[in-house]
């Protein structure tokens, strides 16, 4: 600036943000998210911050939120004493998602995550959020008339074979849209497809997948 413009200027810089393992935090490392909701949905955005490692989350709170030093110190103690509660991660995800997308979008992201595991009505999750969820879960494309529980469990990879799929249903461990499946061979009703396009399938408590409606020939 002095040579080009003949002016004196001040420059402001910030330290490079890095993960605890020394890798950069950024797009070139494949671990960044977009602020544009068309490129990264609020659900995916929230999940990104929620999944920060214990070793990184306190530094993220210092950099990306407006929490006080006292609040962050308290969250750091929570990470050390009760890491399973993920209080620091939930605080980080809430604050940054509210800042970028607004409180309503953050609430929807939390509601969607809870609905995946039966703690809310999956039918209330909007279609765009379901599309974002589909990008993160095992998926299968099926015609409506092909979507029997056996086919769904097998094609999404939640079981290795159709016999295992039938046993999962018989043992009460298969769920579609958080409804326990009782009949392994009858196709899911047309009115059960979420937004006419998706089925959420769960085996047991934590194994999730999504079925997308395939276009008819």
Q: Does residue 72 sit in the same domain as residue 152?
A: no
- In a domain? residue 78: yes
Total domains, the chain: 2
Q: Rounded to 10 degrees, what is the CA torsion of 29, 35, 37, 39?
A: -30
For residues 215 and 27, give the distance between their C-alpha atoms in angstroms, rounded to a whole number.
34
What pTM does this model have?
Answer: 0.80
- In a domain? residue 13: no
Q: In what order do the strands lie in the sheet with 179-180?
A: 139-142, 207-213, 198-203, 174-176, 179-180
Segments forming the whole domain that contains residue 91 = 27-125
Q: Does residue 121 sit in the same domain as residue 148?
A: no
For residue 52, pLDDT over 90 is answered with: yes
Contact 212, 135 (CB under 8 A): no
- In a domain? residue 95: yes
- In a domain? residue 17: no
Task: Tell me 146's DSSP state.
Answer: G
Residue that finishes a domain, picked among 72, 96, 125: 125
Task: Tell me 135's DSSP state.
Answer: T
- In a domain? residue 21: no
The predicted-structure confidence for 161-193, as pLDDT tens digits, reads as follows 999 999 999 999 999 999 999 999 999 999 999
Q: Does residue 120 sit in the same domain as residue 147?
A: no
Q: Does residue 73 sit in the same domain as residue 148?
A: no
Check residue 102 and give left, alpha or beta (phi > 0: left; psi -120 to 50: alpha). left
- In a domain? residue 71: yes
For residue 94, pLDDT over 90 is answered with: yes
Average pLDDT of the chain is 92
**SS3 at position 202:** strand
For residue 153, pLDDT over 90 is answered with: yes
Q: What is the CATH number of the domain that holds 39?
A: 1.10.240.10
- In a domain? residue 14: no
Name the nearest CA neighbour of 152 among 119, 176, 128: 176
Q: What is the CATH number of the domain that holds 176?
A: 3.10.290.10
For residues 97 and 102, give the distance between their C-alpha atoms in angstroms, rounded to a whole number.
7
């Amino acid at each position: 600036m002095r040579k080009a413009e003949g002016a004196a200027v001040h420059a402001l810089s910030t330290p490079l943000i890095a993960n605890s393992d020394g890798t950069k935090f950024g797009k070139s490392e494949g671990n960044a998210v977009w602020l544009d909701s068309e490129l990264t949905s609020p659900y995916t955005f929230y999940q990104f911050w929620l999944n920060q490692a214990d070793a990184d989350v306190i530094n993220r709170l210092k950099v990306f939120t407006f929490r006080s030093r006292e609040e962050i110190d308290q969250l750091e103690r929570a990470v050390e004493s009760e890491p399973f509660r993920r209080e620091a991660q939930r605080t980080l995800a809430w604050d940054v998602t509210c800042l970028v997308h607004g409180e309503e979008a953050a609430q929807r992201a939390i509601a969607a995550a809870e609905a995946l595991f039966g703690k809310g009505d999956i039918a209330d999750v909007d279609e765009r959020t379901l599309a974002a969820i589909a990008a993160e879960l095992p998926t299968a494309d099926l015609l409506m008339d092909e979507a029997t529980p056996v086919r769904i469990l097998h094609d999404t990879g939640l079981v290795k074979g159709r016999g295992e799929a039938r046993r999962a249903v018989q043992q009460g461990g298969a769920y579609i849209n958080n409804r326990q499946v009782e009949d392994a061979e009858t196709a899911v009703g047309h009115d059960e497809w979420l937004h006419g396009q998706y089925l959420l399938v769960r085996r047991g408590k934590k194994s999730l997948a999504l079925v997308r409606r395939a276009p008819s020939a």
